[in-house]
Amino acid sequence: MVREFELPDVGEGVAEGELLRWRVEPGDSVSEDQPVAEVETDKAVVDVPSPVNGVVEELRAAEGETVPVGDVIIVFQLDGEDELDGTEPTPADDATADSGHQTDEAPTQPAEDTQSEPAVTQRVQVAAPPSVRRLARELGVDISNIADSSLGRITESDVRAHANTGSHSSTQEQSNQQTAAAERQKQQAPSTQSVSSVQARETTDRATTVAVPKTRHVAAEEGIDLDTVPTDERKDGEPFVTLEAVQEYAKAQQQAQKKDKEAVAERAAADESARPESRTPYNGIRQTIGAAMTESKSTAPHVTHQDEVDVTALVDARSTLRQEAEEHDIRLTYMPFVMKACAAALQENPQINVSLDEANEEIVEKQYYNIGVATATDAGLLVPVVEDVDAKGLLEVASETNEKTQRARERSLSPEEMRGGTFTISNIGGIGGEYGTPIINQPESAILALGEIKKKPRVVEADGEETIEPRHVMTLSLSFDHRVLDGADAARFTNSVQKYLRNPNLLLLE
């Protein structure tokens, strides 16, 4: 007879566990409660005990495998007749099994001329779980003498009921054993606190209850302990519970549980109404952005290098060129200057303009300079890419950037126009931010965040003299992938960017 054993619920709320180690192998003999496996959940490492005495027939899970609760992990071959009929093997059985011939103590066949020696009675296999057989042995009950129920399986209630009838001789020791077994059963039974206090008082001192097998099985299906069902009827001096009483009691429990759930739901609804909320589906572009950010942050070890740069000359240059740009119907912001400065700095620091090809374990250095501009939209952050920034003039970069960022806000940007970038710039200063730790736009290796340009006091040296003057200062935050770049690489690149932003006239030489 084989027994499949499922991974039990080894912890509250745990749905699965990793099988760390088998403690047994196929062919090993095991006893009940012997640890057979070591399982790790998100809360603890626990031993899984064997539910039976038997022999390991098959291991259904491999070490290191994550197994859902309820999946079969091991198969046992149960120990012979002890599991089949619940009786201990007799010396005659042992002798017969070992030698295959008769002994003086227990002949396998009755002598034809001797009427005083009893014939060996053929054993009848009785369906009962090991826990029921243990209880029968504790109470001294021959489980084969118990009539099976309508469902063909002996339960602990059957054993206790049989122990309380006249068909079984009772001693004071057996009575004590019955009481102890009943107390254990009560501790394991489902809670029935939903019954009324009157019903509870009626069943407080009951240790045993008599009922027909069908009643016991209905009670088991409903999760009801018969000792808690109120009754005034008696049978052989013991409390007797009818099927109707069990059904009525179960119905009362269900109604009480339903009321409890409704009360909890009403309280939850009241709490929610006291705190008004609105919900928006997390899907579409917002979900795609979230997935990309999660992948980037969990894949690349991010480090952020931060610094300040005096951009007073840049402010003056932009002010001078703005009117010229407007004559060409181009709105000139600081972004094109920064894009050109970054393209020049990438040429000076090619180790920044790279991507990591994990599949081929290669660092890919790009010889083109496509700059992405992070753009806030109603749908989330989109990154249009301006290609070959190094080869385009300032006004051309400004015109293309304005056009693509506008179409990004209008959700008319094509996916191809957001691919192929080698470096990204995010302007957090546009909404008043100063420093940030931007997340890298994979598969790039770095991203630069621009802070708000603010007037700050700075020491200025001129004609050998130092004075404190108000200057326009912008903050820079460069996040980089520490798998392919080091802090020194980030510092050198940032210094190059600062050089061009402090003196934008240098961009004319590019």
Classify each residue of 271-280 as buried b or exposed e, where b means 16 or more C-beta atoms within 10 Å of its C-beta: eeeeeeeeee
Mean pLDDT, to the nearest integer, of 441-449?
96
Domain co-membership, 312 together with 441? yes
Length of the chain: 510
Mean pLDDT, to the nearest integer, of 192-218?
61
Q: Classify residue 415 by burial, with Cβ atoms within 10 Å: 0-12, 13-18, 19+.
A: exposed
Structural domain count of the chain: 2
pLDDT in tens, 46-75: 788 998 899 999 999 999 888 888 889 999
Percent of the chain with pLDDT over 90: 44
Domain co-membership, 265 together with 328? no
Domain co-membership, 379 together with 497? yes
pLDDT beyond 60 at 317 = yes
Active site members: 482
Residue 145, in any domain of the structure: no
Contact 422, 439 (CB under 8 A): no
pLDDT in tens, 141-158: 776 677 554 344 577 777
Residue 144, in any domain of the structure: no
Of 185-199, 294-308, 487-501, minimum mean pLDDT range = 185-199
Domain co-membership, 233 together with 348? no
Strand, coil or helix: what is 239? strand
Nearest CA to 477 among 508, 507, 510, 433?
433
pLDDT in tens, 83-119: 444 444 443 344 333 433 444 343 344 344 444 443 3
Mean pLDDT, to the nearest integer, of 204-232?
83
Strand, coil or helix: what is 233? coil
Nearest CA to 332 among 409, 270, 396?
396
Distance CA 264, CA 294 (A): 36
Per the DSSP assignment, residues forming a β-bridge with 210 are 240
Give pLDDT, residue 43. 52
User: Which residues of 267-389 form beta strands (DSSP E)?
Assistant: 302-310, 354-357, 362-365, 371-377, 380-382, 385-386
Mean pLDDT, to the nearest integer, of 321-347?
96
Domain co-membership, 307 together with 256? no
Residue 51, in any domain of the structure: no
Domain co-membership, 232 together with 306? no
Distance CA 492, CA 60 (A): 57
Domain co-membership, 351 together with 410? yes
Q: Average pLDDT, whole number, for the chain?
A: 80
Final residue before a domain boundary, out of 273, 289, 312: 273
Mean pLDDT, to the nearest integer, of 252-264?
84
Domain co-membership, 382 together with 422? yes
Q: Which residue has the higher pLDDT, 507 or 147?
A: 507
Encoded tokens for 167: 């068909």
CA Rg, the chain, in Å? 41
Give pLDDT, residue 125. 41
DSSP letter, residue 111: -
Give pLDDT, residue 367. 96
Of 5-14, 285-294, 309-318, minimum mean pLDDT range = 5-14
Residue 399, in any domain of the structure: yes
Give pLDDT, residue 128. 56
Mean pLDDT, to the nearest integer, of 226-233?
88
Domain co-membership, 314 together with 376? yes
Domain co-membership, 353 together with 318? yes
Give pLDDT, residue 172. 44
Q: Which residue has the higher pLDDT, 86 or 418?
A: 418
- Pairing status of strand 446-450 against strand 423-427: parallel
Contact 253, 224 (CB under 8 A): yes
DSSP letter, residue 242: -
Strand, coil or helix: what is 268? helix
Residue 243, in any domain of the structure: yes
pLDDT beyond 60 at 203 = no
User: Could you tell me the pLDDT band of residue 456, with boundaries at 50, 70 and 90?
Assistant: very high
Percent of the chain with pLDDT over 70: 76
Encoded tokens for 122: 């053929």
Residue 452 lies in domain: 300-509
The counts of H helices and E strands in the chain are 13, 20
Domain co-membership, 450 together with 327? yes
Of 62-71, 194-203, 302-311, minimum mean pLDDT range = 194-203
Per the DSSP assignment, residues forming a β-bridge with 17 are 67
Give pLDDT, residue 151. 44
Give pLDDT, residue 10. 61
pLDDT beyond 80 at 82 = no
The CA distances from residue 102 to 49, 108, 110, 111, 151, in Å, are 40, 6, 10, 11, 39
CATH number for the domain that contains residue 321: 3.30.559.10
Highest mean pLDDT among 294-303, 397-406, 407-416: 397-406
Write the DSSP string, 75-118: EEEE-HHHHHHS-PPPHHHHHHHHHSS--SSS-SS--TT-SSSP
Nearest CA to 237 among 258, 209, 261, 265?
209
Classify each residue of 482-500 as buried b or exposed e, where b means 16 or more C-beta atoms within 10 Å of its C-beta: eebbeeebbeebbebbbeb
Residue 465, in any domain of the structure: yes
Distance CA 391, CA 130 (A): 83
Question: Does residue 443 have a cis bond before it (omega within 30 degrees)?
Answer: yes
Conformational region of residue 182, where left means phi above 0, alpha means psi within -120 to 50, and beta covers everything else = alpha
Contact 343, 369 (CB under 8 A): yes
Q: Which residue has the higher pLDDT, 395 or 82?
A: 395
Nearest CA to 405 among 386, 431, 430?
386
Mean pLDDT, to the nearest integer, of 430-440?
89
Distance CA 495, CA 484 (A): 19
Q: Classify residue 142 by burial, with Cβ atoms within 10 Å: 0-12, 13-18, 19+.
A: middle
Residue 284, in any domain of the structure: no
Domain co-membership, 337 together with 431? yes
Give pLDDT, residue 153. 58
Residue 280, in any domain of the structure: no
